[in-house]
Amino acid sequence: MTTDSAFDVVVIGAGPVGLACAIEVQRRGFSVVAMDKGALVNSIIGYPTNMEFFSTPELLEIGAHPFPTSHYKPLREDGLDYYRRVAFSEKIPLRLYERVTGLEGGLGQYEVITEKGRIACRFVVVATGFYDIPNYLNVPGEDLPHVNHYYKEPYAHTGQRVVVVGAKNSSAKAALQLLRAGADVTMVIRGAEISQSVKYWIRPDLINRIKEGRIKALFDTTIQRITPEAVEIQTPSGLEILPASYVYALTGYHPDFSFLAALGITCELDAAQTPTHDAETLETNRPGVYLAGTVCGGLNTSRWFIENGRYHAQVIAARLAGEVAPELPQVLQPVQLS
């Protein structure tokens, strides 16, 4: 397969942080392309319908483009429109629905290998996030068609028995929406309580609905097996059968470590499997290959999000341009999507 194009910088991942990186390097005179195996801001497309960001608009802005919205906290649809308009306004070259499969060469002479061709470049920025691979339960029946690791909206489940696995933000919001759409909701929770990380305006709502009995919550309980009509659960009292017509296993997500390995990026031997990179320059073990955004944290997916990951763009662009890189600011702790 011959090289079909060439750029100074290839950004892998066309989400908000990837777009921020493309904007910053392009403004410094580098040619750039932003790639994604899916759509533009593919992860946000996968968020629940009308999901409310936990951040205010100014914390989600990239490239100094104002984020106009009538909502104090933007909705998913606001974000989709904003990032599309920014990408088009900045005229960022995009190659979407094109999966990267490998990386050959070295500093200044890399070739990004994709399913459709090869792209020559001097530098690579990996901004692939973490939302693509669920933390699986690893139980029999998890691959059945009525089991889903991504929640979209509640309306198809009116009158159904739905099991929601997990007790963090995604699970809490899904359980509340499902209840209000007429579903019979049971939460299966491994720990002893609703996670303290659930946002302060959501947690009391959920706890009160559980106290009322409108949502059933089984604590210190794990899924053992899923069948077409039920889930087998291990409770403090023993093994039980819980009828279920649909199961949302909202147990979090993690970066694609096999993809990082395909790029030649190693990981540390810590609990988070942190991808190897310099914390100040963001350069990986492969010279000229950088990380940006959530992927920097490995399994610690709550360390970086749009609010603070967008600043990685300025650090990387300054580094490539030979400028003094700004220090990463201390900003609010990002939200988890689990």
CATH code for position 140: 3.50.50.60
Is there a domain that residue 49 lies in? yes
Distance, CA of 330 to CA of 12 (rounded, Å): 25
Q: Is residue 1 within 8 Å of residue 117, measured between CB atoms? A: yes
Is residue 223 assigned to a domain? yes
Question: Is residue 187 assigned to a domain?
Answer: yes
* Domain end among 202, 228, 249: 249
Number of folded domains that form the chain: 2
Per-residue b or e along 39-64, where b marks 16 or more CB atoms closer than 10 Å to that residue's CB: bbbbbbebbbeebbbbbbbebbbbbe
* Co-location of 301 and 274 in the same domain: yes
Say if residue 302 is in the same domain as residue 222. no
* Residues 164 and 27 occupy one common structural domain: no
Domain that holds residue 34: 7-133+253-321
List per-residue pLDDT tens for the chain, 338 residues long: 567 899 999 999 999 999 999 999 999 999 999 999 999 999 999 999 999 998 899 999 999 999 998 888 899 999 999 999 999 999 999 999 999 999 999 999 999 999 999 999 999 999 999 988 999 999 999 999 999 999 999 999 999 999 999 999 999 999 999 999 999 999 999 999 999 989 889 999 999 999 999 999 999 999 999 999 999 999 999 999 999 999 999 999 999 999 999 999 999 999 999 999 999 999 999 999 999 999 999 999 888 889 999 999 999 999 999 998 888 766 444 443 43
**C-alpha to C-alpha distance for 6 and 12, rounded to whole angstroms:** 14
